[in-house]
Amino acid sequence: MRWERAYTLEEIDQVVTALKAWGAGQSRWLLYGPMGAGKTTLVRHWIGTQVQSPTFTYINAYGDGIYHIDLYRFSETDYARWEAVYEILERAEKVFVEWPEKLPWPVPRPYVEVRIDVLGSLERHLTAQVIEADYQSGVPPPHTPL
């Protein structure tokens, strides 16, 4: 399942509304894009104005099981923080992860990959794709009665 749209920053509310409808029921959102692409802006328009960049706090919790994680400054050897991140990935109602390429282990599926490309100072292109559960990975498919 894939969704994409080019937009200006003035259109971010409409983009988030459409993305929420498209990805209804998805709990894990991995946000890829260069510094300044608008990852935190996307989350702020999704959750609300209380969203602050978690670059220095690493993990922000917003109640109702909603988390926003920024892995930019995470160290590979910071095992306690990695355990906390994976605990959140497993249990959160909704979690947004910036810089997910730094994750040392696979993300539990399903999840949504969101890629934000910068087209100009105020223009972006967003592509979102659901990465489904992988039943080829040794996990048996759900049992279907005969």
Report the CATH number that the domain containing residue 49 is assigned in CATH: 3.40.50.300
Buried b (16+ CB within 10 A) or exposed e, 14-50: ebbeebeeebeebbbbbbbbeeebbbbbbbbbbbeee
Residue 19 in this model has a pLDDT that exceeds 90: yes
Give the total number of structural domains in the chain: 1
pLDDT-derived band of residue 56, with 50, 70 and 90 as boundaries?
low
Longest dimension (CA), the chain: 57
Is 65 among the domain residues? yes
Which residues span the domain enclosing 117? 2-131
Give residue-wise pLDDT tens across range 78-93: 888 899 999 999 999 9
Q: Give the per-residue pLDDT at 32.
A: 98
Is 60 inside a domain boundary? yes
Q: Is residue 10 part of a domain?
A: yes
More confident residue, 55 or 125: 125
